[in-house]
Amino acid sequence: GQNIDQPTEMTATEGAIVQINCTYQTSGFNGLFWYQQHAGEAPTFLSYNVLDGLEEKGRFSSFLSRSKGYSYLLLKELQMKDSASYLCAPINNKLIFGAGTRLAVHP
């Protein structure tokens, strides 16, 4: 089975930093994805972690600890367009998403 836990909602201020946590339990593990989804649109790829540690890509970074079943997505210099849902998805033989964290960025 697979269990994924993320906060339901978060709010932050434009220009700030926000960290979205994800804890997971999976039978088998081949890495973890983070996706961004704006309302009514398709999810878009943000990051992929397969080894422990931090992966940085521009304003977005993702961290993975396999032993703890834990990942986070760090968003820096928040912009209004970052208001979206952020989906954590550990991979075994199929791609299952958590319920997502709805982030609202305010001026």
Binding residues vs other proteins (CB under 8 A): 30-31, 33, 40-45, 48, 50, 87, 91-100
Q: Where are the beta strands (DSSP E) in the chain?
A: 2-5, 9-13, 18-26, 32-37, 44-49, 53-57, 60-65, 70-75, 84-90, 101-106
Looking at the Cβ atoms of 40 and 107, the one nearer to other proteins is 40
Smallest distance from other proteins to CB 77, Å: 26
Q: What are phi and psi of 80, to 5 degrees?
A: -60, -35
Looking at the Cβ atoms of 53 and 107, the one nearer to other proteins is 53
Smallest distance from other proteins to CB 8, Å: 10
